[in-house]
Amino acid sequence: MPTIKSLVQDAVLRLRLSGVEGPRRDAELIVGHVLGLERASVIARGDDPVEPAAAARIEALAAERAGRRPMAQILGRREFWSLNFKVTEATLDPRPDTETLVEAVLAVIGLRRWQALRILDLGTGTGCILAALLTECPAAKGVGVDRSAAAAAVARENMSALELGGRATIVEGDWCADLSGPFDVIVSNPPYIPEADMARLAPEVRLFEPRAALTPGGDGLGAYRLIIGQVGAVAAPGAIVGFEVGIGQSEAVAALMVAAGLGPVTIRPDLAGIGRAVLGRAPG
């Protein structure tokens, strides 16, 4: 009968040969996921035997990871803003970079976070941005919009699991179309990868995450143009409007916002110093 340690070692070798970054970390997480153990326990209990059915499940998941399926899809979850979110093939994997947008918006909201704000999250995916903001703004209510019915269903599950279902409404829709405002805070992490860059993405992203949530085609700015053109119809006077942007896009998105009367605009860098969040305000 295999042991925890031998299964981890076999998985590490398989993942390393497949070019997976951090193969030991992922191997230990997979073993822990199947056995219901924290990573520290996987290490501490390395000599424990593993039943054949569980060993087979570990080997199957290691094979999926070797095929470059993202860990979030294998585990079915991802932590964001210290909250746990269900993740499926219908949603983007919540990324630490996106916390930059949440931080930037909260900094502008300031003490207004205790007010009954109305928040709109366009392209909500897992609902991670909306959930993070609602968690920090306990009197707020929000609407999350996604074109994908499958993604919207995941977002609803997440809101319910986080006990935010009473304050969050998730709808299927096309950006601001058919929405009734006004909203005090409008945020979006839209598809922004230029078409020419898609082939260079990591296999975990290129092969497994929903293409429609990654790229709008062309120069990658199409979704920003659409949203910026629509947002005035649902924004409250002085509403905060914030976007996550890709590498090298912050100035272009800022210019689009200024041209639409959403200035002055500020750009907030992520931990790598890359302009990641662009914030402006609706007139009034």
Sign of the dihedral defined by the CA atoms of residues 129, 135, 140, 145, in that order: positive
| Residue 242 neighbours by CB under 8 Å, 6+ apart | 101, 104, 105, 108, 185, 186, 187, 188, 277, 278, 279, 280
User: Any binding-site annotation on 175?
Assistant: yes
Tell me how far CA of residue 77 lies from CA of 80, 83, 90, 97, in angstroms.
Answer: 10, 10, 13, 17
> Is 166 exposed, middle or buried, given 0-12, 13-18 or 19+ CB atoms closer than 10 A?
exposed
Distance, in Å, from the CA atom of 57 to the CA atom of 74, rounded to the nearest integer, reads 12
Q: What 3-state class would DSSP assign to 236? A: strand
User: Any binding-site annotation on 224?
Assistant: no
Supply 11's token pair: 């998985």
* Long-range contacts of residues 13-20, Cβ cutoff 8 Å, at least 24 apart: 14/62, 14/63, 14/66, 15/62, 15/65, 15/66, 17/66, 18/65, 18/66, 18/67, 18/68, 20/65, 20/66, 20/68
User: Any binding-site annotation on 189?
Assistant: yes
Q: Which residue has the tokens 């100035």?
A: 251
User: Any binding-site annotation on 138?
Assistant: no
User: Any binding-site annotation on 190?
Assistant: yes
Distance, in Å, from the CA atom of 195 to the CA atom of 187, rounded to the nearest integer, reads 23
User: Any binding-site annotation on 67?
Assistant: no
With b meaning 16 or more CB within 10 Å and e meaning fewer, what string describes 41-65?
Answer: bbbeebeeebeeebbebbbebbeeb
Binding-site residue numbers are 123-127, 146, 175, 189-192
Binding-site residue numbers for S-adenosyl-L-methionine are: 123-127, 146, 175, 189
Mark the binding-site residues for substrate, compressed into ranges.
Answer: 189-192
